[in-house]
Every structure is written in structure tokens, then in C-alpha cells.
Chains A and B, each alone.
Chain A
Amino acid sequence: MTMMDSKQAKSLMDKVLGFSKAEECEVNLTGSVTGNVRYALNTVTTSGVTEDVTMVVQSAYGKKSGVATINQFDDKSLERAVRTSEELARLSPESEEYMPRLSQQEYLEGKGFVDATAKITAEYRAQAAADSIIPSRKAELTAAGFINDNASFAAMANSKGLFAYYPSTGIDFSTTIRTADGTGSGWASRDFNDVRLLNTADASKVAMDKAVRSAEAKAIEPGKYTVILEPAASVTLINNMAGSMGRRLADEGRSFLSKEGGETKIGEKLFDERVTVYSDPQNADNPYSPWSGDGQAHAKRTWIKDGVVQQLPCSRYWAEQKDYEAIANPGGWIMVGGSESTDELIKGVRRGILVTRTWYIRSVDPQTQLYTGLTRDGTFFVENGEIQYPVKNLRFNESPVIMLNNIEKLGKPVRINGNMVPPMVVRDFTFTSLSDAV
């Protein structure tokens, strides 16, 4: 049985906990059905379905812990997994950072499961791909894309009485559509928990339009430009920065949030006052698990408010060491914006570059959060509020800290890669070289 409901999962995990002789025992159970279809050159290339269920048993004596796993769920196998984890715990070195298991926590209700998504069939996937392929063929364009759906559950139980269960579904779609001569390329992506929100034909139309409009791009001089960043152009830069915002790293002096003398920049204004970032496991557009991997409850939290860093994720170990509040990493974040779409933002730009998405972003200097990467699949020169012509792709070397200080205007946030990001107009974005890539 790949998908279990809360009752089935609890019953199985309680049985495992009943076998335990250790000081502490924790059981994690996950199951999923994932399906995908991949296409390229206007034809389906690969497609498949995978089903998997796993159980992890962790036993601990003091600060010594051991883990074992099984995917066979008869009583004998369950007991053997418990004994193995106990034996391994006794043989393991002490881990100073091991924290006692949590007792039952108060969790918000999970909002991530949609029955329609769990019922996707091979025929649905094939048709969703066809809805992207067939219009592209007709327009003499070349489509490539990927549709990936899943229905899954995660459950956790421990010997201190904690039980948590979270079912979720998701579907991701992305497509890259190119002109037949390879001089133009467009892209679009969508991700939802509810498959009924996905229309691959509509999304493909956006990519087709960008492919045609981006053909025969002109070269411009690299340098500092005002840019209109679509959400897919800024999400990775902001996400990378968010991933570096750990309390421990900041305290240790090896983060962009560290200061000379061992202090941190928490409470300081680091960004434009319009920058506010929060997370909410129950957000209707972007829900995530109401509990973290170590059983902490996720709540709505504001990380950056009016440009000021408010708080940072902090492990239970580090929180205990420093007498802080333990704060789990969120499952997704939301950057507050305005009400305008990307098209409406373009109308207000006198001279700038519209960036559809950015690509191959890598850290150059973690001290300043400097990243390099390139524009891709639709880069356009904008003048007097209108797209004038396509430009060749550009390499940038830029820090999201600088980018979020140079904001001119924010648009309406949209979901992208599990986060909510507004399109934004940013001045003085640093491009360092041209690329011939299409």
C-alpha cells in the first residue's frame, strides 16, 4: 500500500514503537506515487510511474543514536528493524548535537493534498504533453517539456507520544519552445498542488510567443542596466540568499549576516523598505508541511520586514547552546509585492531589459552573496514602456543583497519553484559579458 491515511500510518508506527527497548525511539514513514512525462523535438521521449514506501526507525541511548530501515511491514521485519537500530545506537559514537525527541506538538492543519492530483492517469499526462506539442508543431516551433506529478504522505511518531501526518500532492510543468532555426527560445513553468489549476496549453502559448519574439536577438554592451525581472529570474538568487540565512552561521562569523567583532546583522535594515519576506504553511497558493523533519511545528513567520532582518532559522541544538528560540527552516517563502503584472511593470520602464529567467546560478563569494549566472529564453530591450527588440543573453555577477536594495517597483507575487515571488524592476543590475547562447 503506497498511500496510507493517518490511521493506517499511526497503527503501523505504534506497533513499531511497541517493540522498542531504547531510551528513545522515533519512526518516520513516507510513501509516494510519482508520475512523469518528458517530451522534446515535439515528441514524447520518456514517461514513467514510480511507487515507493519507506520506514526509518531511529533508536537512541543518551546521545548515541542508530537508524535502520525497512520496506517490508510484517511484524517480524518491523521488530528486526527496531533491534538493528538499537544495536547500531549502542555501537555509535556520541553526537554532542543529538537532541532529545520532542513530545506532542500543536500542528496546523495541512493544506497540501488535492484528490484530483492523486488521481492523475497516464492518459492525462500524455494529453497534457500533447496540448503543448501539437500547437507548437502547427506553428512550426519545437517544444520540449516535462510534467511531474506526485501524491505522497509523510508521518512521524516517537516514544514521547508525538505523532504527525501530512499528505500532499503536487504537479510541476515546464516547457521550452524554440524556433525551427534555433534563433529564438521561450519558456514557461507552473507548479501547483491542484492539477485543476494547470493548463499546459495556456502556459505553452506564453513560451511560443517568447520563442517567436526572441528570434534574431541583437548584441548590447554589458554593463549596469535597469531590469524587469520576471519571478523566474529572481527566485534562485533570493532562494540562495535565504538558504544562507542560518542563525548559527551568522553567529560563527561565516555568513553575509555576520559583522566584525562577532556580532550579527539581525535587526538591521539590509534591504529596501519594500522588502518583506514571510512563510506560511497554510498559504492557499503555496502550502507546505505544518511540521519540520525533526517534529517542530511550522507557523506563519516573518523573516524580513520593511527591509529589516527579523529572525533566522536556528537548529534545536544551537538554540539550546545560545538560549535562543529554535526555529525550523520553512518549506517555502513569500515575498510581498504590489498588484501589477509583469506586463504592467514594463509600461513604467523608460529604458531597461526584461529578463524571463536566469540560469546556472553559482556562488562566487559567500561573504557578499555574489552570484554569477545568465539570462535565458527571452531577454528583451524595453524603451518607453514597450518591448523594442530581443537582446542576446547576458552573464551577470550580482548579489541579491544589492539587488533588493535597488528596487524600483514590485509587482504581484506568483508561485514559482515552491515560493511566491513578485516580478520586480531593479536598477543598476550588473551584466559582465555577452553570450551567444539561444
Chain B
Amino acid sequence: MERRDFLKVTGVGMGTLALPITGNVIAAEQLTLPLELAVKKTLADAALNTATSAGASYADVRVGRYLNQFVVTRENKVQNIVNTESLGVGVRVISDGTWGFAATSGLDADSVNRAAAKAVATAKANSKFQDKPVVLAPVKGVGEVTWKTPIEKNALEVPIADKVDMLLSVNAAAMDAGADFINSILFLVNEQKYFASTDGSYIDQDVHRLWAPFFATAIDKSTGKFKSRQGLSSPVGRGWEYLEGREEDKVKSVTTLYDKSYDMVEDARLAAQQAREKHKAKSVEPGKYDLVLEPSHMWLTIHESVGHPLELDRVLGYEANYAGTSFATIDKWRAGDFKYGSEVVNLVADKTQVGSLGHVAYDDEGVPTGEWDLVRDGTLVNYQAIRDQVHMIDQNQSHGCCYADNWSSVQFQRMPNVSLEPGKEPLTPEEMIKDVEKGIYIVGSGSFSIDQQRYNFQFGGQLFYEIKDGEIAGMLEDVTYQSTTNEFWNSCVAICDERDYRLGGSFFDGKGEPGQVSAVSHGSATTRFNDINVINSSRKI
């Protein structure tokens, strides 16, 4: 059973959206007052001293203030405005070669010292059953440093009234354009994270993220059917400026697509029209199609079929009881010639792309972040790994992708941004479509499911258009495609060039036990895959 608290936003077009809430509900003005650096350092030093005195060979402390603001509306109503704050200290230690962890919401020396002692006691209790001691890759202490997400305008400082006005304008645009229902939401996240370790690092980071999804639904009362279209925004590591919807960031296609900023009102209007149009769309004929996948769709396919299978903890079996393991086994990587995809496929991990959800300067165990290859010219070349893992793949430097979603959660390996490099030859989506005889152009992410070793997957989308003899021939419905990861990426025949490169992402990616969420971006340009199996998802009940 999941013990975490959830805020349930019911009534959204796709059912119930369960939002993980890890904090307390607080007043808006409190969101912008950070904890004093000196207070954090004092607490951190106390915990480090207690842990080492109790026998820890390594210790780190995270003093965290995690802030969320959710504004939830439907049609012409505000449903909920929630500000949450989660404040506390997590202490992680190695004692007798074994990890131990304890956390407390008490921000005083006694509470922190008690947590540090408890972490050491837990490590010692478990060490009896530990046959291999933890091996940590070295990290040089960086002293006292600070970093902040490069935002132009802190969304938490924007008055609630402006946010409500914006969302109600979005809803009005959709209702005017034919929607019967719309739910629109703003999620704002600010992680004020202070990390200190016995390696000599004191790292203060101020991380900002934002997401503005909506769900528009159009009902046909004569048939009793309902059709929905979700917004095409991307969750981002940006500030309020993302919602300015600048013209230069718009990409005209079968619908308007968005790059570094988002016009939510325009997208809602188009979504309502398209939800209505879906009632008259042709139901897809099952069979093999060439798929042309737009970046607002591609991100999720990359996330599930590349991001997760190349997490080293999964590959090694550490996630076997929950998320599963991976088909991309160590022997395939060691062979050096495993063709993950076709020659045009280059997949890169990073924690540094500006505007991405994964962007930070240091990970949650004090490692400086960077960029590295996962798949180069179609061949598997590396994984995602952290300090206690890299020695298992003969490396001595962590990749810097360790993360905890809260002070009360233990940090562990989480997916960095994983992106598909754009094609090297000039190619636009229009030129790509012209070359397709029988295909489907898919926009937006929808239903997604993949097995526990990441072989077999099935994906839906938001908008589907039939491609006939190089032309868009109208909207389709009931489309889902099924494939296996290796076969799919080896059927990749073309990728548009960097002019079409855009980021999508997941705001609430789940992993681990107890479950933790993280946010991660995936970039790509429009990409073509040949001969993919499409099934028809319509049923009668």
C-alpha cells in the first residue's frame, strides 16, 4: 500500500490525477522566504559530527525546504489553491560498510543529532546481513557554493489573482471553442536544497520548475461519447516567463506547437476544436504504418524505452522488486557492439540543458553535473550511475544523477535528462512527411505502458493524422502502437534537424520504494520509424 499523501484532483478528462504531496499547506507569502544559510550550516555540521562520532565512515546531510503551489480550476471556477512547504533534515551515513538513513522535521540540534545517531544505528543493524560493503567513487569537496535555476521571473512571486485570471481565460477560450469541460492547473515547485558532506562540500541550490497542463473534453450527447485533448505544454525548469507565449516560440503544424514559451490560451482553444473534431474522426485500420513522431510525443517514448532501461540500478537488479530490471544488460554493454538503435540514433544524458527539468549544478550527493553519451551511432556505450554504482561498470567518477524528492527521502539514482540528438542533415517535418506513403503523424503524449525489462511497449497520443502518399489526409482515432524497444529504435530511419529540436518531460516520474517522484526532460526533433504495429483501441461495453 502506498502511504504517501495524495491530493486528488478529480474530474479531469482522463480520470483522476493523483498528485503526490509531501509537505504541509502554507500561506503564499511564506513561499518566498528562504532559510538562512548560517542556520543550515550549523544544523548540517551538528549532524555530520554526531554521525562521525557514532562511527560513520561517511555522512551527508540535506537540509531541505520543498515548496509547491498548485492552482486548480475547472470551467469558470477556482477549485483549489494549495501552497505546501516541507521542511526538514535527512541524514545519510555509511557505517560498518552499510547505508543508514534517518530524517526529522525538527530543525534544532537535538532533533538533528538524534536523526544522525538513528541513521548510524540503522546502518549497524543492517550490516549483519550485508556481504559486500558500499564502495563510493571519490568526490572532491567543493567548499561553500551556491546555484540557482536561471529563471527570469519567480513564479511563486506572481500574485495568485494573476494566476487565477490566466487559468480562467484559458478555460473560457476552450469553452468558447466547443469544450463542454476543461480542467486547468498550475504546478509550481521550488526546492531550496542545502547539501553538506564529510567530503567538505556545503552546496546551496535554489531549483525552480513549472507545469501548466489542462484537459479539455467535448461530449456528444446523442451518442453518449466523450473525447478529450490534453494541453501540449512542456513542464520546464523555467520561471513565469514560460507562460508568455511568445510568437517566436510557436511552431505551426497540424496544431500550434511550442518551444521555449507556451501560449496556453491558444492551445486550449485549439484543443477544444480538436476534441470536437475527434467525434467525427475515422477509426484507424489496424496494421503496419510508418510513424512520424513529433517532439511533444517523442519525449515519453524516449523516457520509457531509453531513460528507464539505462538506469544502472535497474540493470543490476536493485529495482527488481518494483520497477523491474532491464533488457540492456551489462554483458550487452561490455560487448561494445550492441545495436540499441539504427546508425542515426544518438542518445545523450545530461543535467545541464537550460530550461530542462533536470538542470542543476550538483546532484544530491554533491557531484558536479555534466553530459555523457548513452548510445552513439546506434551502439550502447554507457548507463546512468551514481557514486556507489560506478565501480560496478569499471568507472571511477559518478555521473552526477543522484536525487531525493524530499528531505525525508533517501537519495538514489534518478534519470537525468535523456535526449535524442537531432539529425545531422537538413530535414524539416514537412519534408519528412512528404516521403511517407502510408503513415501516421502523432502529436502529444497519451497512454503509455511498458514491461518490467523494457522490451514490449504500447503508446497512445493526443492527436493522430493519417499520412497518405506524402500528405496529411485527416484525423484518426483509436490509435495505439505496440513494439519492442530494440526493434523500434532499429527501425528509426530519419530525424529532423536541430531547428525542430524541442524538450518535453515528466513532472512526476515515479521510482523506488518508498515511491519518490522526480522531474526529467527529454529533447528530440520529429522522428520517423518504419513499419510499426498499430492496433485499434475501440471497444464496446
Contact = CB atoms under 8 A, between A and B. Distances in A.
A44 B134 CA distance: 11
B9 to A, nearest CB: 12
Nearest to B486: A436
Interface of A: 34, 36-38, 40-56, 66-71, 84-85, 87-88, 91-93, 95-97, 122-123, 125-126, 129-130, 133-134, 142, 144-146, 148, 150, 170, 172, 174-176, 178, 182, 185, 191, 240, 243-244, 246, 248-249, 252-254, 256, 258-262, 270, 359-370, 372-374, 376, 393, 395, 397, 399, 401-402, 417-418, 432-438
Given A40-B321, A365-B537, A438-B453, A51 B105 contact: yes
B352 interface: no
B19 interface: no
Contacts of B482: 395, 432-433
Minimum-distance CB pairs A-B, first 9: A260-B224, A48-B101, A69-B24, A437-B453, A435-B456, A437-B451, A144-B321, A144-B320, A146-B513
A99 to B, nearest CB: 12
B101 A249 contact: no
B280 interface: no
A363 B447 contact: yes
Nearest to B13: A254
A122 B122 contact: yes
Given A97-B79, A402-B541, A50 B408 contact: yes
B147 interface: no
Given A97-B77, A172-B1, A44 B130 contact: yes
Contacts of B449: 360-362, 372-374, 395
Contacts of A170: 1, 3
Contacts of A252: 11, 180-181, 219
B321 A176 contact: yes
B514 interface: yes
Give the interface SS of chain B, mostly helix, strand, loop or mixed: mixed
Contacts of B529: none
Contacts of B85: 69
B160 interface: yes
Contacts of A84: 27, 30
A52 B221 CA distance: 49
Given A68-B26, A93-B161, A374 B180 contact: no
Contact of B129 (A129, A142, A248, A369): A129
B447 A372 contact: yes
Nearest to B76: A96
A146 B321 contact: yes
Nearest to B91: A48
Nearest to A416: B1
Nearest to A31: B105
B451 A359 contact: yes
A47 B122 CA distance: 7
B264 to A, nearest CB: 19
Interface in B113-128: 118-119, 121-123, 125-126, 128
Contacts of B14: 363, 366
Contacts of A435: 451, 453, 455-456, 484
Contacts of B16: 243-244
**Most chain B C-beta atoms within 10 Å of own C-beta, residue among A38, A95, A170:** A38
Given A56-B25, A122-B125, A244-B16, 5 more contacts: A41-B316, A48-B103, A93-B160, A365-B537, A368-B539
